[in-house]
Amino acid sequence: MNNERIRILVVDDHPVLLSGLSLLLNAEPDMEVAGTADSGPKALALAKELQPDIVLLDISLPGTSGLLLLPEILRQALQTRVLMLTMHEDHQYLKEAVAKGAKGFILKKCLDVDLLYAIRSVMRGQMYIHPAMMPDILAEQDKGAASPEEMLWLSLSKREQQVMLAVAMGFTSREIAEQHFLSEKTVATYRSRAMAKLGLETRAELVEFVSRQKRSVK
Amino acid sequence: MPVALIAFLRQAARRGRSVLLSVPLKLKILGLALALILLFGAVIIYKVQAALSENFDAFLREESRFVATELSYQSHDYLLINDVYGLTQMLRNTVQNRPDLRYVFVRNAEGQVVAHTFEGGFPADLLGRSPGLSAPRSEPKLLRTNEGSIWEATAGISNGNEGAVVVGVKGDSLRRQIGVITGSLARTTLLVAVFGVLLSLGLTWLITRPVTRLLEATRAVRRGDYSVRAPTESQDELGRLMEGFNAMVLSLASADKARLEKEHLQQDFLHRVMAGQESERKRIARELHDQTGQALASVMVDIKMLENAKNETETSQSIGRLRKAITEEMKAIHDLAVALRPSVLDDLGLVPAVEMLVRGFINRHGIPVELTIIGFTEKRPDGCTETCVYRIVQEALSNVARHAQATEVSVLLEWRGEKIRGVIEDNGIGFAPELVDSKAKLGVLGMRERIQLLQGAFRIESSPGEGAMLVFEMPAKAGVCHEQ
């Protein structure tokens, strides 16, 4: 391992950052910067030519996005592991990057501490994700796959659901108001808002919608 | 040749038509009336004259024969007693009583003229032209003389044995009579023509006055004066035209008013947008100058201290401060950039961007938001639509944060078929939509403008105490999109 250094391709459009990263990486005994690219096409060409071990890929690139470039690079260099390098702390980026095959996700603000550690982890076959981003990833998991209409129905409050069911069953606003101890005006408001949320306009559409709901519940 | 003729006729007809079309209405009606009256008068005069002249000759002929026969009986006695004087007197009386008679003379059996009515002697040429006695009765003849046409009739006395009476009838008075009739007809025609001209002038005045006023009104409307009305006193086609014109002006006026109002509103909106843009720039400039500039200055200071560091501790302290300053500054700049335009929207699309927006809202304001997004899996609307939806959700959420005092918010986005619709609802204090203050109104106006640009629809439902709901709907694919 000692005589074989990790060959790295750095893709970033900021010359200052590029040279800084090169200095930093070349200073490590087990790493070398095999090439640098400041644009998408150049990065692709170099990835193909150099077949680097690691690609440090910035998400924000002129005219394109690292997320778009990612699958292309993986196609050009099959053995390469890609580490995303970004300002964006939003976990959506992380999710997208991981889904597209990135092995690591480094925030630029943690660059100095994380980078070397991340590169070595990834070379060992692990993934690297900044610990601060883990809760977001976990929070994503619990969303069940409901049908669009179920989701629409669930977006209504309990009260709105009650009112909608009553309307579908043919009760008038006055009757519903009496049943639920609400004012008639409030019922009308519930009704119009729930209809707007469901994207329905007539009572006939509502009846159809509700009957479909019942069927899917059974 | 016929081809050339037809072409000529056609051209003449075209020229006549164009002349007719170019002549004012007044002249057309006037000309028509005048032409009709004059034509009618001329035809009447011609017809009357023709009828009278036809009878005239027959009448003169009969007259001459009748007078000759009558005088032949009366002359008989005078000739018997050879009373030439009496005969002449009788003839003169007769000529005087009958203005049509030009002359009468009597020949005896020998053919000599015994009595005549010519003043100043018997004309020699007549003497030569009457050789002897002819038949006792002969048909009247028409003589062409220097005095005009004369019907001359001869009647024998006692069957022509004792002489003959010759009568010349000229018919001056009758001719005069015809002249008088013709003249009176012509005068009547002229009178009628004058009357007709006056009448048609009145008629054209009646017709053209409203038309002229309509023309004036049209000009006024073209100048933008919508207060004019065309006169509507008549009930005919012109009256209906006026009513139609007035209705058109009314609807034009209201359309123009609406347009002006909208223009005014748009101008106001544009001013506010520009002012908003300017203050946004001011804010960013200040942020960059005050925040980033100061942070970089402090970095410079720390680098200098790093340079002068005497020991390990000082070095690591400086490095720690540097790292902290830079990390903070990176976050500040990132936040600034996201506030301006979140790159999530471009890189990942509407759904992650809205999710980020909602998370930010929850973190900042501590108000729970129920976010429901349906139908956006594995597809993205075009850039303009994404921006529009994002900005509307952003504006709506910021309105909720500023005004609503809500404890629950729900955001629903659904992509169904060709349409994207959204509902943003809160349970806050609500408001009467007509009492929105001008600053919030600008926000609402901005949302409406955005949606209308993409052919979408937008409404806000709220009343005090009932929370508020914003509903919008727009095509998922914008017709025109200049966003890149």
Predicted confidence (pLDDT) per residue in B198-254, tens digit: 888 888 888 778 888 888 888 988 888 888 887 777 788 888 888 888 899 899 889
Say what the pLDDT of residue A1 is.
44
Average pLDDT over residues B99-119: 82
Q: Judge whether A61 and A39 are in contact, CB under 8 Å.
A: yes
Say what the pLDDT of residue B131 is.
47
B346 and B336 part of one domain: no
- Closest residue to B410, CB basis, from A59, A148, A155: A155
Given a cut of 90, is residue B422 above it in pLDDT?
yes
Say what the pLDDT of residue B413 is.
93
CA distance B284 to B260: 35
Within the 27-86 window of chain A, which residues sit less than 8 Å (CB to CB) from chain B? 59-60, 65, 67
Given a cut of 90, is residue B411 above it in pLDDT?
yes
Say what the pLDDT of residue A33 is.
93
Q: Judge whether B73 and B46 are in contact, CB under 8 Å.
A: no
| Domain count within chain B | 3
Closest residue in B to A64 (Cα) is B347
| Contact between chains at A88 and B466 (C-beta distance less than 8 A) | no
Q: Domain residue spans in chain A?
A: 6-140, 148-211
| Contact between chains at A199 and B416 (C-beta distance less than 8 A) | yes
Average pLDDT over residues A185-206: 86
Express each pLDDT in B269-294 by its tens digit: 888 888 888 988 898 888 888 888 88
B482 and B354 part of one domain: yes
Strand B148-156's sheet: what is its strand order?
B113-116, B101-108, B163-169, B148-156, B141-145
Express each pLDDT in B25-61 by its tens digit: 778 888 888 888 889 889 988 988 888 887 887 888 8
Q: Judge whether B216 and B208 are in contact, CB under 8 Å.
A: no
CA distance B101 to B220: 77
Closest residue in A to B352 (Cα) is A92
- Closest residue to B327, CB basis, from A109, A186, A192: A109
Could you say which of B179, B200, B224 is where a domain stops?
B179
Inter-chain Cβ pairs, chain A and chain B, closer than 8 A: 68
Q: Which CATH number applies to A6-140: 3.40.50.720, 3.40.50.800, 3.40.50.2300, 3.30.1600.10?
A: 3.40.50.2300
Given a cut of 50, is residue B145 above it in pLDDT?
yes
B349 and B450 part of one domain: yes
Strands (E), A98-189: 104-107, 128-129
Average pLDDT over residues A83-92: 82
Closest residue in A to B420 (Cα) is A199
CATH fold, domain A148-211, is Arc Repressor Mutant, subunit A (1.10.10)
CA distance A200 to A151: 15
| Domain annotation covers residue B369 | yes
Say what the pLDDT of residue B479 is.
76
Chain B interface, best mutation among A16, A61, A91, A197, by max B CB count within 10 A: A197
| Contact between chains at A96 and B348 (C-beta distance less than 8 A) | yes
Looking at the whole model, is its pTM more than 0.90?
A: no
B30 and B168 part of one domain: yes
Structural domain for B145, as ranges? 24-179
Given a cut of 70, is residue B448 above it in pLDDT?
yes
Confidence tier at B337 by pLDDT (50, 70, 90): confident
| Domain annotation covers residue B2 | no
Given a cut of 70, is residue A145 above it in pLDDT?
no
ipTM above 0.90, yes or no: no
Average pLDDT over residues B438-459: 82
CA distance B397 to B389: 12
CA atoms within 13 A on the CB side of B484: 3
CA distance B395 to B416: 23
Average pLDDT over residues B94-112: 82
| Domain annotation covers residue B233 | no
Average pLDDT over residues B436-464: 82
Express each pLDDT in B179-196 by its tens digit: 888 888 889 888 988 888
B274 and B406 part of one domain: no
